[in-house]
Chains A and B, each alone.
Chain A
Amino acid sequence: MTDKPMTPPTLPFKFSGKGGEYFKIWIVNFILSVLTLGIYSAWAKVRTNRYMYGNTSLENSAFEYHATPIQILKGRIIAIIALVLYVLLSNTFPIAGLVFAGILAVLTPWAIWRSMQFNARMISYRNVRFSFHGMLKEAYKILLLIPLLPLIIGAILAGIIHLTLGEVAPVVVTGVIGIAFLATYLIFPYVQKLVTVYYINNQQYGQGKFSTQLSTKKYYAIYLALLGWIILFMIGISMLVGVIGGALGLFGSFADLGAIKEGGDTEAMKFILSLIGLFYIPFIVISLWGKAYLEKNIRNYVLNNTELDDVVQLNSEIKTGRLFSLYLTNTLLVLVTFGLAYPWAKIRMHKYKIETSSATIKGNIAQYINQQQEKQSALGEELGMLLIWIWA
Chain B
Amino acid sequence: MQITGYWYPENSSARYDAELNTNGTQYTLKITENEDLQGSVTRISVSDRVGNIPRKITLEDQSIFETQNNDAIDRLLQEADHGDGNLHFLHVLETNWRWIGIALLLTLVISFSTIRWGLPWASK
Which residues of A does B touch, CB under 8 Å? 16-17, 21-25, 27-28, 30-31, 34, 43, 47, 50-51, 53-55, 61-62, 64, 125-128, 206, 338, 365-370
Contact = CB atoms under 8 A, between A and B. Distances in A.
Contacts, number: 81
Name A's interface SS.
Answer: helix
A105 B32 CA distance: 54
B94 A25 contact: yes
B15 interface: yes
A61 B103 contact: no
A38 B11 CA distance: 35
Interface residues of B, number: 28
Given A25-B51, A62-B53, A128 B100 contact: no
Nearest to A339: B111
Contacts of A367: 13-14
Contact of A127 (B8, B53, B94): B8
Contact of B13 (A23, A31, A369): A369
A83 B26 CA distance: 51
A64 B56 contact: yes
**Top 3 A-B pairs, shortest CB-CB distance:** A54-B53, A370-B11, A127-B8
Given A17-B51, A54-B54, A127 B64 contact: yes
B8 A126 contact: yes
B99 A50 contact: no
A28 B90 contact: yes
Interface in B68-108: 90, 93-95, 99-100, 103-104, 106-107
A28 B12 contact: no
B50 interface: yes
B93 A22 contact: no
B51 A54 contact: yes
B6 interface: yes
B52 interface: yes
B11 A127 contact: yes
B12 A51 contact: no
A369 B12 contact: yes
Contacts of A43: 90
A51 B111 CA distance: 26
B107 A30 contact: yes
B15 A51 contact: no
B94 A55 contact: no
B110 interface: yes
Contacts of A25: 50-51, 94
A142 to B, nearest CB: 31
B95 A24 contact: yes
Contacts of A21: 51-52
A16 B70 CA distance: 15
A126 B13 contact: yes
A369 B11 CA distance: 6
22 contacts: A17-B51, A22-B51, A24-B94, A24-B95, A25-B51, A27-B104, A28-B90, A28-B100, A30-B103, A30-B107, A31-B103, A43-B90, A53-B53, A54-B53, A55-B51, A55-B52, A62-B54, A127-B8, A127-B66, A128-B11, A128-B12, A367-B14
Interface string B38-68: 0000000000101111101000000010100
A294 B32 CA distance: 47
A87 B23 CA distance: 59
Given A27-B103, A27-B104, A127 B12 contact: yes
Given A27-B107, A365-B13, A366-B14, 9 more contacts: A28-B90, A50-B50, A53-B53, A55-B52, A62-B53, A127-B12, A128-B11, A206-B13, A368-B13
Interface centre among A17, A23, A28, A366 (most CB of B within 10 A): A28
